[in-house]
Amino acid sequence: MRQEILERTGDYIAQSADKASRGAVAVMEKVEDVVETAKNVARQGRQASEDALHGAARSIRRHPVQSVVAIGAVAFGAGLLIGRLLKRR
């Protein structure tokens, strides 16, 4: 009787260890997938930002006067907005 209980307990422990091991492997695989996905997203983001920067530089070279006027308009608008926000306080 005792021997049978000890054998069952050993079997349960072995099964539990096996399940835990498989679970750990599954978690590690998921972590590796997430890390790889994050690397890909970062790479794509970097490429998109480089493309946008090159596009902006190309546009400024093609239309320098319009670019300066647009930047001035944005700065003027931001100044007005900030000025109004500061006056309200």
- CA 15 and chain centroid, separation: 38
Q: Which residues contact 67 (CB under 8 A, 6 or more apart)?
A: 59, 60
> In this structure, what is the dihedral angle of CA atoms 32, 37, 38, 43, given to the nearest 10 degrees?
130
Q: What is the DSSP letter of 37?
A: H
Q: Which domain, by its residues, includes 46?
A: 2-63
The contacts of residue 59 (CB under 8 Å, 6+ apart) are 67
Q: For a pLDDT cut of 90, what percent of the chain falls above it? A: 67
pTM exceeding 0.75: no
Domain count, the chain: 1
Q: Mean pLDDT over all residues of the chain?
A: 91
More confident call, 38 vs 6: 38
Mean pLDDT of 65-82: 96
Q: Decide if 86 is inside a domain.
A: no
- Name the percent of the chain lying above pLDDT 70: 99
Flag whether 45 is in a domain: yes
